[in-house]
Amino acid sequence: MSYQVLARKWRPKVFAELVGQQHVVRALSHALDSGRIHHAFLFTGTRGVGKTTIARIFAKSLNCETGISSTPCGVCSACVDINAGRFMDLLEIDAASNTGVDDVRSLIENAQYAPARGRMKVYLIDEVHMLSKPAFNALLKTLEEPPAHVKFLLATTDPQKLPVTVLSRCLQFNLKRLTIAEIESQLSKILQAEGIAHDAESIREIARGGNGSVRDALSLLDQAIAFGGGQLLAAEVRSMLGTLDRGGVVGLLDAIVANDGALLAERIAASAEFQPDFANVLDALAEFLHGIQVGQLLPSASPEDVWPVADFVARVAPETVQLFYQLAITGRRDLTLAPSARIGFEMCLLRMLAFQPQPTDGARLALPAAADGRALLPVQRVSTGHEPSPPTASAPRSAVGATRPGPISARPLAALAAVPMPLCAALEPMSASAVAAAEPTLAPVSVAAPAIATVLDSALWAQFNQQSALRGPTREFAAHLVFIEDNGRQLRFGMSVGQQHLQNDLSLRGLRDALSRLLGREITLGIETMDAAADTPAALAARARREQQTAAETALQQSPFVQRAVSELNARILIDTIQAIDASTN
């Protein structure tokens, strides 16, 4: 007797044997038991989740010799023939091979005749979205008003390609991807019935490889049994699938978080010895990072504990987890563009190492220290009229020759190197005196370690917004606050009514913790509503951008070269295309 693959041998014969899809089973069972049966059903979902299986069980329920019900007997001639695929009144049509209007016309003509054996003539059209537009048009009338003895069961993996005129004529059921736990349970039951030795980890690897599809998982199970010589071992299954054990993935992330390049290189080399599918490894890493993020932000909704997320929840900032996750999925997408899969994989991990914010334990300012241990805080010198202003270098100019508004002494020296010079001076090297004059001023602030300052004022608040490690919604929230007062116990801020949507528990907690570390004391935040908050860091930055844009447009229009091009070459200046260069991002 020829071998029957597990996906066919263990295909469910009744609704009770189906894994998952209880929402579909419930609706169809009630319809069958009550006799309220629609004439056209559409089953949608990815491959291998049970669309065709449910359609066949439904056809069996309609034609069982014991009567129409949700529990066909399975032993009558109709049930046996449907199980064997030879029931003449169940017509399975592959729309991918029969796409033309002539095929549909033949179907419509045949539908007029009464069933040869059964109670109902059932048309099961698989991948129905592959039908041509004329074929759909020919089917519409019959699909809406078929003969009483005809039922249409349509299945597709891509319902978006179906005309709305077809969708409106069918009851639509969307089949879900199965969870790893549901697939694991089904695989365990099958292996026990087949008498095949296995371990729990091997089943989990196959269930994960199925990617929500029972049929795919069963195909992998067949392959793994053959690969393992009749038994399943986790190491052999991982070797077959090209996956890395969870410990290896955890070790890679551990080396990155520890900022240990030598250890990361060692663990990459150890992982490569197993010849894994690097795309699968990056998938596993992304899944691990997802678990960490859920553990940080939604601890009450944490998924099943398959990764040691608790070890990393406090070690990695939530913003860094988001960065690593984005790099992982982007790196997976770009693997085919790399010289080799391993190089692409290594570069993805090295990118995480290179871009990892320092420090990674929250919104903390990374500032230098003086020789006596006092923290050094870069500050902007503002003349008060009571003390002489220190000498400053000439203000840098934008790429179009306009003076950049606002002092820049608080920016690190490395950022100053990227400030564009005027076009006429860009070819000349900067003098040593010019570089020295542009160097930021560092003012020592004496506070108890690890604090940097004790009292918050408007200047320090502006400095904090410019140089803090706040990320995402918390940074946006802080940028729209106006500093009012630091009374020692509470920091008072103002916020306009239009920006109150930025305020939530997460952003408040993140800002409070960052300011507490900055000031070296526990503080509370008081947010007051203001009619207008024009002096927020965000508003000041927007004003500076507008002034810079205006200066750029003016400088370009007044350029002798541009004026000559306009007068002699009949050129036109497209004002909307002028874009000022932001020196702080270059």
User: pLDDT tens for residues 204-221?
Assistant: 889 888 888 999 999 999
Q: What is the mean pLDDT of the chain?
A: 78
Rounded Cα gap, residues 494 and 526, in angstroms: 8
- Give the domain ranges of the chain: 6-174, 180-241, 246-355, 371-379+397-423+439-586
CATH architecture, range 180-241: Orthogonal Bundle (1.10)
Rounded Cα gap, residues 302 and 178, in angstroms: 19
- Judged by phi (left if over 0) then psi (alpha if -120 to 50, else beta), residue 289 lies in alpha
Q: Which has more confidence, 233 or 300?
A: 233
Rounded Cα gap, residues 419 and 413, in angstroms: 10
Residue 304, pLDDT score: 56
Class of domain 6-174: alpha beta
Residue 366 has pLDDT above 50, yes or no: no
Highest mean pLDDT among 296-310, 329-343, 382-396, 435-449: 329-343
Parallel, antiparallel, or unpaired for β 40-44 and 524-530? unpaired
Which helix (H) or strand (E) segment is 259 a member of?
Answer: none
Q: Which of 276-290, 318-332, 451-465, 475-489 has the lowest mean pLDDT?
A: 451-465
> Omega into 450 within 30° of 0, i.e. cis?
yes
User: pLDDT tens for residues 159-214?
Assistant: 989 999 999 999 999 999 898 889 999 999 999 998 888 888 888 889 888 888 99
Q: Which of 122-131, 281-290, 415-424 has the lowest mean pLDDT?
A: 415-424
**In Å, how far from its chain's centre is CA 299?**
19
**Structural contact between residues 220 and 206, judged by C-beta atoms closer than 8 angstroms:** yes
Rounded Cα gap, residues 59 and 120, in angstroms: 8
**Structural contact between residues 477 and 511, judged by C-beta atoms closer than 8 angstroms:** yes
Residue 188, pLDDT score: 92
Residue 303 has pLDDT above 60, yes or no: no
User: pLDDT tens for residues 533-558?
Assistant: 567 777 777 777 787 888 888 888 88
- The 10 Å Cβ neighbour count of residue 366 is 10
Tokens linked to 235: 């190491």
Tokens linked to 214: 């029972």
Q: Which of 33-42, 63-72, 422-431, 539-548 has the lowest mean pLDDT?
A: 422-431
Place of tokens 């010799």: 65
Rounded Cα gap, residues 327 and 582, in angstroms: 26
- Judged by phi (left if over 0) then psi (alpha if -120 to 50, else beta), residue 48 lies in left
Residue 372 has pLDDT above 50, yes or no: no
User: pLDDT tens for residues 92-148?
Assistant: 888 878 778 888 888 888 888 899 888 999 999 998 998 888 888 888 888 889 999
Place of tokens 């410019």: 466
> 387 vs 262, 381, 382, 422, 424, CA distance in Å?
52, 11, 10, 32, 36
Q: What percent of the chain clears pLDDT 70, i.e. is strictly above it?
A: 81
Please name which of 124, 129, 130 lies closest in space to residue 97, comparing C-alpha atoms. Answer: 130
Angle, alpha carbons 59-63-68 (nearest 5°): 100
Among the four given CATH numbers 3.30.300.10, 3.30.300.150, 1.10.490.10, 3.40.1160.10, the one describing domain 371-379+397-423+439-586: 3.30.300.150
Place of tokens 């996956």: 243
Rounded Cα gap, residues 182 and 583, in angstroms: 55
Amino acid at 287: E
Rounded Cα gap, residues 282 and 91, in angstroms: 44
Please count the CA atoms within 13 angstroms of the CA of 529 that sit on its side-chain side.
5
Residue 232, pLDDT score: 86
CATH architecture, range 246-355: Up-down Bundle (1.20)
**Structural contact between residues 235 and 227, judged by C-beta atoms closer than 8 angstroms:** no
- Find the mean pLDDT for residues 235-253: 83
- Judged by phi (left if over 0) then psi (alpha if -120 to 50, else beta), residue 211 lies in left
Rounded Cα gap, residues 294 and 284, in angstroms: 15
Q: Where does 304-381 have alpha helices with state H? A: 310-313, 318-333, 341-355
Residue 440, pLDDT score: 38
- Find the mean pLDDT for residues 453-473: 81
Rounded Cα gap, residues 206 and 215, in angstroms: 11
> 2 vs 9, 13, 16, 465, CA distance in Å?
12, 21, 28, 72
Asked if domains 246-355 and 371-379+397-423+439-586 share a fold, the reply is no
Residue 255 has pLDDT above 70, yes or no: yes
Residue 94, pLDDT score: 86
Residue 522, pLDDT score: 87
Residue 583, pLDDT score: 53
Which helix (H) or strand (E) segment is 470 a member of?
Answer: none
Rounded Cα gap, residues 38 and 34, in angstroms: 12
